[in-house]
């Protein structure tokens, strides 16, 4: 029996660095025929990647994956441009759905923000009467209300109806956290179509001996090195780091924060660093290929998980949690909710409440003063928890069972 044809809807895809890239590669290895409908790559810089555009590389093949790129407006660096980016993907997707001759046996929607991108997959699945899988990584409309601070019922109510339409017309809804699953169920979605399916870490993430790693970006100057790798946006809440660094500097705690990545908030973060006069406590490294991130993490002493204070973010488990745990590193958390409980209960690191710079400075100071053996045990605890709960092959086998049974 031949494997099925999967149509993937994901506004971001290769060469943008998202876990859906790895999921699709696994499906190719398992014999599935995979087509991805995505946008023109522009995340997180906000402008089209070199070599891509409205008339360049609109169709591409990446390691056996067929890629169809819809024309969109790049994210830019303003709220208006971001809104236009979201709307343009749905607009292009609507007309693509009408005219395409694409065939598929099922649709898989990788719903990182925005959830509205899922409309393209829902429409296609309804038109062809095929199963639709929705993987929710960002809880809408709650996230929109937090990020924009929009309270108007004339905006939020219609958006809520769009989200409910997407949830209702998905045959199976997967979520990356138990809290998100509960929140979607509370919107009236039937329990039987909701599944907790956490994110995993790619196999390139694994424990490595720090003493045997030499990467020029990480200085070996005797300080305690803490790394954050990922998008630098408002949601990450990184503005508290310079405040915590100022406290640590006053206490003469030898720490250095390595911030690897790019994003809409990066310039603001640099300004806050300068404003607090803690430039010597930070090294900002440009966005790196995902293949280089494991060495950068393992060359440091601890890995940072940071999100802004929010009821919505307290319900999420960012994908970098799995990557850091798979690397066997002690975790420094500035986060509420599920992740804070996870870190504390497994003794995988130290955790402060989201947005609490004073508490974060205290926790980091405790970590710096900790015996090396205890720090190593935290990293081991993180790795063991990863193996038990977030191991790649186990989760992808589970997904394969679902796809094969539909």
- Residue with more model confidence, 329 or 158: 329
Q: Is the pLDDT of residue 76 over 50?
A: yes
- Residue with more model confidence, 179 or 123: 123
Q: Is the pLDDT of residue 232 over 70?
A: yes
Which residue segments constitute the domains of the chain, with CATH numbers given?
Answer: 5-199+391-405 (3.40.50.2000), 210-389 (3.40.50.2000)
Token pair of 282, please?
């930070």
**46 in helix, strand or coil?**
coil
> Per residue in 16-37, pLDDT tens?
989 999 999 999 999 999 999 9
Token pair of 236, please?
């990450």
pTM above 0.85, yes or no: no
Percent of the chain surpassing pLDDT 90: 72
> Per residue in 373-382, pLDDT tens?
999 999 999 9
Q: Is the pLDDT of residue 362 over 80?
A: yes
The C-alpha atoms of residue 255 and residue 252 are separated, in whole angstroms, by: 9
- Residue with more model confidence, 51 or 220: 51
Residues 102/8, Cβ–Cβ less than 8 Å: no
Mean pLDDT of 268-284: 96
Give the model's confidence band at 143: pLDDT under 50 very low, under 70 low, under 90 confident, else very high.
confident
User: How confident is the model at residue 1, as a pLDDT?
Assistant: 44
Mean pLDDT of 58-66: 96
Mean pLDDT of 118-141: 93
The C-alpha atoms of residue 124 and residue 364 are separated, in whole angstroms, by: 49
- For residue 237, CA distances in Å to 75, 82, 124, 353 come to 20, 19, 36, 12
> Per residue in 318-358, pLDDT tens?
888 999 999 999 999 999 988 999 999 999 999 999 999 99
User: How confident is the model at residue 45, as a pLDDT?
Assistant: 86
User: How confident is the model at residue 301, as a pLDDT?
Assistant: 95
Placement of tokens 């045959």 in the chain: 171
Q: Is the pLDDT of residue 227 over 90?
A: yes
Give the pairing of strands 5-9 and 106-111. Answer: parallel
User: How confident is the model at residue 272, as a pLDDT?
Assistant: 96
DSSP 337-377: HHHHHHHHHHT-EEEE-TT-HHHHHHHHHHHHHS-HHHHHH
């Amino acid at each position: 029996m031949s494997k099925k044809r999967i149509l993937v809807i994901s506004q971001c895809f290769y060469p943008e660095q998202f876990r859906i890239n790895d999921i699709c590669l696994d499906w190719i290895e398992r014999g599935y025929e995979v087509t991805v409908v995505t946008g023109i790559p522009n995340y997180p810089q906000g402008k089209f990647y070199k070599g891509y555009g409205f008339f360049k590389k609109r169709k591409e093949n990446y390691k056996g994956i067929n890629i169809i790129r819809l024309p969109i407006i790049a994210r830019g660096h303003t709220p208006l441009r971001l809104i236009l980016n979201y709307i343009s993907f749905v607009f292009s997707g609507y007309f693509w759905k009408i005219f395409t001759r694409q065939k598929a046996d099922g649709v898989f929607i990788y719903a990182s923000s925005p959830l509205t991108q899922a409309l393209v997959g829902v429409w296609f699945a309804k038109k062809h009467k095929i199963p639709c899988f929705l993987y929710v990584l960002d809880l809408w409309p709650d996230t929109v209300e937090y990020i924009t601070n929009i309270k108007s019922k004339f905006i939020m109510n219609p958006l809520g109806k769009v989200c409910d339409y997407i949830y209702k017309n998905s045959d199976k809804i997967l979520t990356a956290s138990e809290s998100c699953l509960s929140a979607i169920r509370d919107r009236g979605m039937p329990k039987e179509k909701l599944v907790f399916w956490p994110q995993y870490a790619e196999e390139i993430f694994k424990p490595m001996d720090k003493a045997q790693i030499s990467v020029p970006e990480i200085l070996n100057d005797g300080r305690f090195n803490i790394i954050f790798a990922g998008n630098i946006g408002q949601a990450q809440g990184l503005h508290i780091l310079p405040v915590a660094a100022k406290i640590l500097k006053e206490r003469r705690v030898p720490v250095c924060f390595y911030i690897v990545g790019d994003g809409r908030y990066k310039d603001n973060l640099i300004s806050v660093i300068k404003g607090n006069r803690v430039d010597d406590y930070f090294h900002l490294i440009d966005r790196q290929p995902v293949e280089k991130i494991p060495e950068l993490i393992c060359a440091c002493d601890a890995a940072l998980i940071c999100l802004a204070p929010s009821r919505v973010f307290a319900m999420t488990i960012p994908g970098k949690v799995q990557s850091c745990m798979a690397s066997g590193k002690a975790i420094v958390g500035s986060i509420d909710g599920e992740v804070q409980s996870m870190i504390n209960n497994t003794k995988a690191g130290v955790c402060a409440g989201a947005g609490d710079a004073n508490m974060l400075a205290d926790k980091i100071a405790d970590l710096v003063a900790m015996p090396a053996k205890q720090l190593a045990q935290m990293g081991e605890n993180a790795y063991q928890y990863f193996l038990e709960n977030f191991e790649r092959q186990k989760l992808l086998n589970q997904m394969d069972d679902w796809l094969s049974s539909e």
